[in-house]
Amino acid sequence: MGPAVRIFTLARRAAERVKKAESVLVVSHIDADGLAAAAIATAALDRMGRECEVRFVKQLDARHIEEFRDENPDLLWFTDLGSGMTHLLYGLNAVITDHHHPSARLPEIPAGDRRDILRFAAGYRDVVQVNPHLAGRDGSVDLSGAGATYLVARELGDNEDLSAIAVVGAVGDLQDSASRRLEGTNRYIMEDGKRAGVLEWHIDIRLFGRETRPVFKMLQYSTDPILPYITGNDKGAMGFLSRLGIEQRGDEGWRAWVDLTMEEKRAIVSALVMELLRHGYGHTAAERLVGEVYILVREEMHTPLRDAKEFATLLNACGRYGKEEVGMRVARGDRDEAYREAMRLLRNHRRNLVEGMNRVLEIGLVRREVLQYFHAGKAVDENIVGIIASMLLSSEQADSTLPIIGFAVNEDGDIKVSARAPRELVDAGLDLSVVMRECASVVGGFGGGHNVAAGATIPSGKEEEFLDVVEEMIRRQLGG
User: What pLDDT sits at residue 221?
Assistant: 84
Distance (Å, whole) CA 295 – CA 430: 31
The stretch 10-15 carries a mean pLDDT of 97
Mean local confidence (pLDDT), 373-396: 89
Q: Is the dihedral of CA 417, 362, 239, 350 positive or negative?
A: positive
Rounded average pLDDT over 53-75? 93
For residue 155, pLDDT over 80 is answered with yes
pLDDT (0 to 100) of residue 223: 74
pLDDT of residue 146: 98
d(CA 316, CA 293) in angstroms, rounded, equals 19
Residue 254 to residue 244: CA distance in whole angstroms: 17
Instruction: Round to whole Å and give the CA distance between 109 and 160.
Output: 39
Rounded distance between C-alpha atoms, residue 65 and residue 88, angstroms: 7
- Quick one: pLDDT at residue 49? 96
Q: What is the pLDDT of residue 422?
A: 87
Helix, coil or strand: residue 235? helix
pLDDT at site 452: 83
Indicate the pLDDT class of residue 112, thresholds 50, 70 and 90.
low
- Statement: residue 253 has pLDDT above 60: yes
What is the predicted pLDDT for the residue at 5? 79
Q: Examine the pLDDT at 55 and tell me if it is beyond 50.
A: yes
> pLDDT at residue 122 above 60?
no
Find the mean pLDDT for residues 312-333: 96
pLDDT of residue 119: 47
Residue 120 has what pLDDT? Answer: 46
The architecture in CATH of the region 3-194 reads: Alpha-Beta Complex (3.90)
How would residue 109 be classed by pLDDT, with cut points 50, 70 and 90?
low
Rounded to an integer, the average pLDDT of 347-360 is 90
Predicted local distance difference test score (pLDDT) of residue 453: 87
- pLDDT category of residue 110 using cuts at 50, 70 and 90: low
What is the helix (H) or strand (E) element at residue 356, kind and residue range? helix 337-363
The residue extents of the domains of the chain are: 3-194, 202-350, 364-477
Determine the pLDDT at residue 82.
95
Mean pLDDT of the chain: 92
What per-residue confidence (pLDDT) applies to 144? 97
Q: Could you give the CA distance from residue 219 to residue 227 in angstroms, rounded to a whole number?
A: 8
Angle, CA 297 vertex, CA 295 and CA 300 arms, to 5° = 100
Q: Tell me how far CA of residue 479 lies from CA of 439, 456, 470, 473, 475, in angstroms.
A: 18, 24, 14, 10, 6
* From 112-126, 157-171, 189-203, 298-312, the region with the lowest mean pLDDT: 112-126
pLDDT score recorded for residue 124: 41
CATH fit for domain 364-477, picks 3.40.50.11720, 3.30.465.10, 3.40.50.10300, 3.10.310.40: 3.10.310.40
Asked whether the beta carbons of 69 and 99 are under 8 A apart, the reply is no
Is 121's pLDDT higher than 50?
A: no
Buried b / exposed e over 293-305, threshold 16 CB at 10 Å, is bbbbeebeeebbb
6, 11, 14, 20: CA torsion to nearest 10: -130
Residue 283 pLDDT > 60, yes or no?
yes
- Residue with the larger pLDDT of the pair 35 and 279: 35
